[in-house]
Amino acid sequence: MECVDSLALQSSTYKCSKDSIEKAVTNEITKKSTKSVKSSKAHLSSKDNTVHLFSHLPSFKGSLPKTKSYIHPAISQIGLQYATGVVCGGNARAVALLCALKQVVQDYVTPDQKELARDLHDQVKRYMEFLDLCRPISVSMDSVSKYISPIILCCSGRTDQQASGH
């Protein structure tokens, strides 16, 4: 209110028009709001623009964890999305996991001397461990894993085509 009073005083002294008063008011408000925004910003460190308040926490550098076993491309893709925060929230991560597992099952071919149910179940467990390394497993993702395990195990004794139709 003080700003408006001082501008009204200026306008009566200088015989300003209504448009110039409105411009002066908006300029004054803009100055005050940018001043408050500048003063409220946290101190940023010069190296890699990190906020000083969070400087003690580890930061993600953008790479996936190293594994010695094969990881399906769909699983590595969502692992990177989880780690970088592209897919966030428990439900969204569970839906992404279901889509990736669907792709894994569609691409799966049983190796020689292996049983479909056991090998696929072991792979899914490995994939879940990999995803846990990317970002801790959410409750809904754990529920997806628990839900899909008996479905995979009930496919024992079936061929790849029969199991993928199940």
Residues 20 and 82 in one domain: no
- Is 25 contained in some domain? yes
Measured torsion, CA atoms of residues 105, 109, 114, 117, in degrees rounded to the nearest 10: 20
Domain residues for the domain of 146 are 73-165
Q: Is residue 127 part of a domain?
A: yes
Per-position DSSP letters for 92-134, written without gaps between them: HHHHHHHHHHHHHHHH--PPTT--HHHHHHHHHHHHHHHHHHH
78 and 153: one domain?
A: yes
The answer to whether residue 101 sits within a structural domain is yes
| Token pair recorded at residue 102 | 């669907």
* Residues 79 and 35 both lie in one domain: no
Q: Assess whether 23 and 80 both reside in one domain.
A: no
18 falls within a domain: yes
Total structural domains within the chain: 2
Report yes or no on 134 lying in a domain. Answer: yes
Same domain for 78 and 33: no
Alpha helix positions (H), the chain:
2-14, 18-40, 73-84, 90-107, 116-134, 139-153, 160-165
**What pLDDT is stored for residue 153 in this prediction?**
87
What's the confidence (pLDDT) of residue 110?
A: 86
> Is residue 142 a part of any domain in this protein?
yes
pLDDT tens readout for residues 21-64: 566 555 655 555 454 444 444 444 445 556 677 677 666 555 56
Pair (78, 150) in one structural domain: yes
How many Å from the N-terminal Cα to the C-terminal Cα in the chain?
A: 72
Mean pLDDT of 99-106: 93
Is 116 found in the same domain as 35? no
Same domain? For 77 and 157 the reply is yes
What's residue 78's pLDDT? 94
Q: Is the per-residue pLDDT at 88 higher than 60?
A: yes
* In a shared domain, residues 24 and 99: no
